[in-house]
Amino acid sequence: MSLTTASRVFADHPSVRPATRDRVLAAADDLGYVVNALAQAMMGLGRRTVAFVAAHMIGSTFADMAAGAESVATAEGNLFLLSTTGEDPARERDLMETLREYRPAAVLLAGSTQTGEEFEQRAVAYAEALAAVGARLVLVGHPACPGSKSILSVDYDQVGGVRRAVEHLVTGGHRRIAFLGLIPERTTPAERLRGYELGLQDAGLPVDPSLVIECANDSDGARVAALSLLSRPDRPTALVCLTDGVAVGVYRAARSLGLAIPGDVAIVGFDDAPIVADLTPALTTIRVPFWEVGVHGARVALGLEEYDGHVQLPTELIVRESSP
């Protein structure tokens, strides 16, 4: 009944006589003993840990990604750590250090960031710091970093999604199509705007800067912005919205102006959030496989999946009643 023997019992080693085995198990049960996984982990043994870091945990998009990642991590008996930065780079940096101290298998960094090299450099620094403790960094729901091929990422086709939406609106006869919800210098709005521009370009239509509207990414910010946009004499006949939440704000604005959807103005959202199919009229939107993004992120993180640096999942235009 030595420590070694006990250890062997819990590790299911074959070389331990059933009798002693039972004796150990009985004693353990008696004392309420469970192995100290921290001691195991300290030696690089035992379960692995996957961390998920996002700016916020609000809305179904991040929650779905996190849930997808969690399902993969937990399914294999690993641990899943969740933390938010509140959009604060300093907190993000601190968090990254803290996580490094826990020797995770991987850190998934989720969501939109500032565009440009500053973030990319930060990400490279994170990736290197994590690599120094044997951990991987995987960007999820974030476009690939073209500069640094070493940064793994799992993304979804935002550009293509909006591009198809614009194509759909053009096919429906629309020529004055606005984009609502721009947030400057952020990757997700930038990608979706790019899809809008490419969609117009495909149709040989010019990009009219007065139809690209900046507003907060919430229903009320969108409502206010839409109110002014839709009050213009030359108002657009169709609106592509950054998110479904923005689209909801547009619904409210249209209603208060007495405009019919899609008769007076067609609306397209993005994300396919729950319930938007039950709005009146049902919202046309772009469905994003957020759960799967999380799943693939975790799989890449744990080395369960082939990856060539970047995975991009398809999005799907869901045509409902709010567009022709």
Partner DNA sequence: TTGTAAGCGTTATCAT
Partner DNA sequence: ATGATAACGCTTACAA
Which residues in this chain contact a second copy in the complex, by CB under 8 A?
32, 34-39, 41-42, 47, 56-60, 63, 66-67, 70-71, 74, 77, 79-84, 95, 97-98, 100-103, 128-129, 132-133, 219, 244, 248, 251-252, 273-276, 278-280
Among 30, 32, 43, 204, binds DNA (CB under 7 A): 43
Question: In angstroms, how far is CA 182 from the centroid of its own chain?
Answer: 18
Residues with Cβ within 8 Å of residue 113, at least 6 apart in sequence: 119, 142, 186, 187
Q: Which does 66 bind (CB under 5 to 8 A by kind): a second copy, DNA, none?
A: a second copy
- Smallest distance, DNA to C-beta of residue 142, A: 30
Site string for DNA, 1-20 (x = CB under 7 A): xxxxx-xx-xx--xxxx-xx
φ, ψ of residue 318 to 5 degrees: the values are -110, 105
By CB under 7 A, how many residues form the interface with DNA? Answer: 26
- Smallest distance, DNA to C-beta of residue 143, A: 35
Token pair, residue 219, equals 């229903």
Q: Select 28 or 319, whichever has its Cβ closest to DNA.
A: 28
CA distance 311 to 156: 8
Residues with Cβ within 8 Å of residue 207, at least 6 apart in sequence: 196, 197, 200, 201
Closest by CA to 113, choosing from 87, 91, 83, is: 87
- Smallest distance, a second copy to C-beta of residue 310, A: 26
Q: Select 1 or 43, whichever has its Cβ closest to a second copy.
A: 43
Which SS3 state, helix, strand or coil, does residue 178 take?
A: strand
Q: Which does 16 bind (CB under 5 to 8 A by kind): a second copy, DNA, none?
A: DNA
